Amino acid sequence: MTISPSKVCQLREASKLLLEEWQTVQQHVASTATIDCPSSPKLCQEMDVASFPAIRLYRQDGSVTRYRGPRRTAPIDAFVKRALKPSVQNVPGQQLANFITNDDYVFIAKLQGESESINSHYRDFAQEYSDRYSFGIITSGSVPSNGVWCYNNVDGNQHAATDLNDPNALKKLLNLCTAEVIPQLTRRNEMTYLSSGRSLVYYFSNNEADREAYVKALKPIAQRYAEFLQFVTVDSGEYPDMLRNLGVRSAGGLAVQNVHNGHIFPFRGDAAASPGQVDQFIVAISEGRAQPWDGRFDEGQEAHDEL
């Protein structure tokens, strides 16, 4: 596959950012390698690397696992630690409390001793997702009934599936438990959120640390309005046209879009630093006290955005 020069430049910039994180990962992981795909295109093609930067884990048995998570040190380290463990770990009762806190998302199956088919189905499911989440199992005749619990340590909640005769029960549990309160909008998931029926609260920034700070600050507000509003973060470098279409002048900012009537409400201020003002802004919109954007950028707006 031929990659255009402009695309190569974008990929190189993304690779530079990852390389900074990768240097820290190398301090924790014993065996690592770095390959420059533009300099070694045939090698990357042989390794089925169609786009970069990419992270792959190669095992001695020849199997390969692709890393799909954020390009940051901590998630990459967690990915490697999971890969070095069995996809499902047997968890003694006295170790349960520690196990359920050792990853962002942890699944625990509590099964009766004779539940072989359910046990097998759970292990197959874990094998598919063990690169992203941790899976444990407790098998005992003293377990009153079969069930699988998912602990979301990112948002501090948990969910359970007890009707394990439903072949889709585990996937439903995974989707429910791992749903982020404020996800990042990507080409892969954009239609899911754009067609959710809820109005959207966009936060634009080309800085990943800034987006993370925003998520941390706004998560309580996003949880409170989750029934009506879908909060998302957006890498402004990936969606440059979307900023102007939503009335955001600079490389970062917040805007609310009413998906039912198309009205857009740009927020004038630092959303990450002032969650209380964002809350008041949302209330003003819901009460009809905020005027929708008229599609024009005036000098006052531009000056305010640049402060």
Taking the C-alpha atoms of residue 111 and residue 132, their distance in angstroms, rounded to an integer, is: 23
Q: Any idea which fold 89-178 has?
A: Glutaredoxin (3.40.30)
Q: φ, ψ for residue 136 (rounded to 5)?
A: -130, 165
Cα separation, 122 vs 88, whole angstroms? 9
Write down the residue that tokens 């402060």 correspond to: 307
CATH match of 190-305 with 3.10.28.10: no
pLDDT score recorded for residue 262:
92
pLDDT for the residue 7? 58
Domain with CATH 3.40.30.10 in the chain: 5-81, 89-178, 190-305
In this prediction, residue 306 carries a pLDDT of 35
pLDDT of residue 64: 87
Is the Cα dihedral 75, 81, 84, 88 positive or negative? Answer: negative
Q: Residue 235, exposed/middle/buried by CB under 10 A (0-12, 13-18, 19+)?
A: middle
Tokens of 180: 């982020």
* Check whether domain 5-81 has CATH 3.40.30.10, yes or no: yes
In the chain, count H helices and then E strands. Answer: 11, 11
Query: Tens-digit pLDDT profile for the chain (307 aa)?
Result: 455 555 556 666 777 778 888 888 888 777 888 888 888 888 888 888 877 788 888 888 888 888 888 888 888 889 988 988 999 999 998 899 999 999 999 999 999 876 789 999 999 999 999 999 999 999 887 778 899 999 999 988 999 999 998 999 999 999 999 999 999 998 888 899 988 889 999 999 988 889 999 999 999 999 999 999 999 999 988 888 899 999 998 778 999 999 889 999 999 888 878 899 999 999 999 999 999 999 888 655 443 343 2
Check if the beta carbon of residue 237 is closer than 8 Å to that of residue 264. no
Cβ neighbors of 132 (< 8 A, separation 6 or more) are 68, 69, 79, 82, 105
